[in-house]
Amino acid sequence: MRSILPSQLHILPIRHHGPGSARSVLAALDTLRPTTLLVEGPPDADPLIPFLAHQGTVPPVAVLAYVQGQPEHSVFYPLAEFSPEWVAIRWALQQGVPVGFMDLPAAVTLAQQEAAPEPTETGTEPPDHTKENNAEKDQAEDAQSVRADPLALLAQAAGYSDFERWWDALVESHGEDIFEAVNEVMAAVREENDGFTSGRDLIREAQMREIIRAALKKGDVTVVCGAWHAPALTPEVLEREKKNDGAQLKGLPKVKTNLTVTPWTHGRLTQASGYGAGITSPGWYAHLFATPAHVSESWLTRSARLLREKGLDASSAQVIDATRLAEALAALRGRSLAGLDELTDATQAVFAWDSDTPLRLLSEQLFVGELLGSVPAEVPAVPLAQDLAAILKTLRLKQEAVTREITLDLREDAGLQKSQLFHRLNLLGIPWARASDASGTGTFKEAWTLRWEPEYAVRLIEASRYGNTLVRAANSAAVSRARAAELGELAKLLEVARLSGLPGATRFALQRLDERAASADTAALLEALPPLARLARYGDVRSREGDDPRPVFRTITARAAAGLPNAAHALNEAAAQDLQKLVAAADSAVRLLDDAEASAEWVLALHALDTDGTSPLLRGDAVARLRDRALLDEEAVRVRLGAALAPGEDVLTVAAWLDGFLGEGGQTLLHDAGALGLLDGWVVSLDPEQFDAVLPALRRSLSRIEPPERRRLGEDLRGLQREVVGAAVDDDLGMLAVAVGLRMLGVRE
């Protein structure tokens, strides 16, 4: 191959997602007008490049590659509006210049990921606390930081905490020679840190050189790549390594992959998200890219506007003060321009004072600038994703990266369809909408919290194995889960299937529930009752189609009632507490459905719990529930109270019975004056020795009631009306007072 002239190859070393780099790349391309443009990225994504120029493609977006049949093995290549790669691709497409990616194919990257060993918690080899290994670990971390963002390290060395402001100052000083200067600096950095380049980076650079050589056959080439790789792509290195690169790339493992373009978010571009090329504040970078002049003033103006929207004071005078303060801080720190650190400090000092509330309010909307991109429908996607997009368009729902609260009225068609959509997505493991509490009364309302995350695109691909439409996929997923689910999970699944509007899955889950009930233990039977009761009582609000769950509810209640007395014997404290919670939920379910047959079976089980041998916690709980149902009169409860708290009983046993009788947090005493009177009457009837014997157990149980509630109980006891037993009434003596009263009223005898 002939020698490569420097004029044939132009290298533009950039910082990934750097707005200053993006503007410089755009200016350089307008000057160079290359024959071919190459951008760092997977070359097997070249067919997707035309979609990046589509008017329906709004950044941030990401090229998504995943292993065929295994979408959980995936990799993303994000692009933001201020990414130099995005600017370069859009420029080439608008100018009609051929453009392609140059890096390892995604098929190789995914194969390497599959072959890599599972990482430890530290992401390195298992820790060895020797000095040598610690030194190696520190060196590896230093190498990673240098490779990940070498230009940021240069900015810090120059006294700038904000790379973009340093880059602006550098551009103003060097003009069009900026990329040559960066290339020289990076060559020196790589030479100084010889060995910091990983083996994978060496393979990547060999692949880049091979693609550059092929492109040079068609004319001059301009390359946009990460600054670390630039020294490895020069004409000299291309000549020197042309024999070695082919051998180095030979035999690399590959897997079959699918690629598409998917929406991305600013939040996933941050360092906090774990992204390797992450940045601190995407919102700040987007602002820098879109604001060529008066950067500080416009940033602080936006801050003030957002604070006012949140109901906080933020005046124009404060904006002026904050701008002056930021500029003064930059001068004190030896910087020509105010960066994000100076602006944040100024915001804190002027708008917040000693409160962190303003900065917390600004964090998501300004510093991160949370934004979800979009892609056109023409982009290759699995049929399930296309079906979801059509449904969202029909229901006028928008995927957003910000948290939004909505309340649905299930009596309306639109509200019911949205509810079914959210339930179906949750069935498929895509929790875009999470259920929350709806204010007010009634069962026709649902409240949801919406927030779309980019990884849900991968989960959609994973869920497509169940079907090509959302209804079919959700139905198949529910049936698949029902085949392996235990009884308690089956009952919950049945409720979700009905709420999702999936009659096929509902019938199958109900059938499996009936079959599983025959061999389930008591705890599982009790756990299944609440969702069944809700389903039988409320249905899906709009209709009661499908099989009636009441017969299954009766069957499960009868089996749970039969097994409950034996399950309540010989339990330790923790097991008794777990069973008591299940009993409480089951009792509420029986009350909710109010089915005569089920209620009769359940009452028999409560009576069976009120016997010797039952865990004292459950025995006390059963007495309270029977009294609530008016199946035990006051005298019967008083007798059981006296027997349970008799002198000589074990303190822990007495306390456990009281815990069950009083309810969690003493709710029985707080809301039932009759029960409070019973306990008070029993206590005052004790002689001093008996009182001393039961006092520790009483104090232990009552100490679990919160102080404000205990105070209220004391006030209730002070005014409690007690029956006073007096002497026999003397009618003659009483008539004397009547006569006096009549005379005082002027009534003649």
Backbone angles phi, psi at 543, to 5 degrees: -155, 165
Q: Which burial class, exposed, middle or buried, applies to 431 when counting CB atoms under 10 A from its CB (0-12, 13-18, 19+)?
A: middle
Supply the pTM of this predicted model.
0.66
Provide the angle, in degrees to the nearest 10, between the axes of the packed helices 573-593 and 651-662: 20
Answer whether 12's CB lies under 8 Å from 195's CB: no
Would you state the pLDDT for residue 111?
92
Would you state the pLDDT for residue 738?
80
pLDDT greater than 50 at residue 125: no
Would you state the pLDDT for residue 126?
31
Per DSSP, the residues of 235-275 read HHHHHHTHHHHHHHHTT-----EEEEEEE-BSGGGBGGGT-
Q: Percent of the chain beyond pLDDT 90?
A: 26
pLDDT tens digits, 192-249: 776 667 888 899 999 999 999 999 999 999 999 998 899 999 999 999 998 899 889 9
Answer whether 662's CB lies under 8 Å from 709's CB: no
pLDDT greater than 80 at residue 148: no
| Structure tokens belonging to residue 501 | 């509007």
pLDDT tens digits, 662-676: 776 666 676 667 767
Higher pLDDT, 115 or 375: 375
Q: Does 60 sit behind a cis peptide bond, omega within 30 degrees of 0 on the bond before it?
A: yes
- Of 66-75, 220-229, 599-608, 726-735, the range with the lowest mean pLDDT is 726-735
Answer whether 388's CB lies under 8 Å from 460's CB: yes
CA gap 649, 619 in Å, rounded: 15
Mean pLDDT in residue range 539-562: 74
CA gap 199, 422 in Å, rounded: 45
**What's the pLDDT band for 48 if we cut at 50, 70, 90?**
very high
**What's the pLDDT band for 144 if we cut at 50, 70, 90?**
low
CA gap 661, 615 in Å, rounded: 12
pLDDT greater than 70 at residue 540: no
Mean pLDDT in residue range 616-631: 87
**What's the pLDDT band for 272 if we cut at 50, 70, 90?**
low
pLDDT greater than 90 at residue 100: yes
Answer whether 490's CB lies under 8 Å from 460's CB: no
Backbone angles phi, psi at 365, to 5 degrees: -80, -25
Mean pLDDT in residue range 716-737: 65
Higher pLDDT, 664 or 303: 303
**What's the pLDDT band for 723 if we cut at 50, 70, 90?**
very low
Three-state SS string across 405-428, please? EEEEECCCHHHHHHHHHHHHHHHC
Would you state the pLDDT for residue 232?
93
**What's the pLDDT band for 321 if we cut at 50, 70, 90?**
very high
Specify the pairing of strand 9-14 against strand 99-102.
unpaired
Higher pLDDT, 319 or 634: 319
CA gap 232, 103 in Å, rounded: 13
Mean pLDDT in residue range 350-371: 78
Instruction: Residue 590: name the closest of 606, 607, 579 by CA.
Output: 606
| Structure tokens belonging to residue 460 | 């959609």
**What's the pLDDT band for 555 if we cut at 50, 70, 90?**
confident
Mean pLDDT in residue range 492-504: 88
Would you state the pLDDT for residue 316?
92
pLDDT tens digits, 155-204: 777 777 666 667 766 654 444 568 888 888 888 888 877 666 788 889 99
| CB contact set of 92 (below 8 Å; sequence gap of 6+) | 29, 37, 98, 99
Would you state the pLDDT for residue 138?
47
Higher pLDDT, 567 or 658: 567
- Of 15-19, 311-315, 488-492, 535-539, the range with the lowest mean pLDDT is 535-539
Answer whether 399's CB lies under 8 Å from 263's CB: yes
Would you state the pLDDT for residue 205?
94
Residue whose structure tokens are 């801080």: 329
Higher pLDDT, 75 or 336: 75
Mean pLDDT in residue range 30-48: 94
Mean pLDDT (the chain, rounded): 82
Helix (H) or strand (E) holding 100: strand 99-102
> What amino acid occupies position 230?
A
Helix, strand, or coil (residue 709): helix
Q: Where are the chain's structural domains?
A: 6-117+136-273, 291-368, 383-466, 610-723
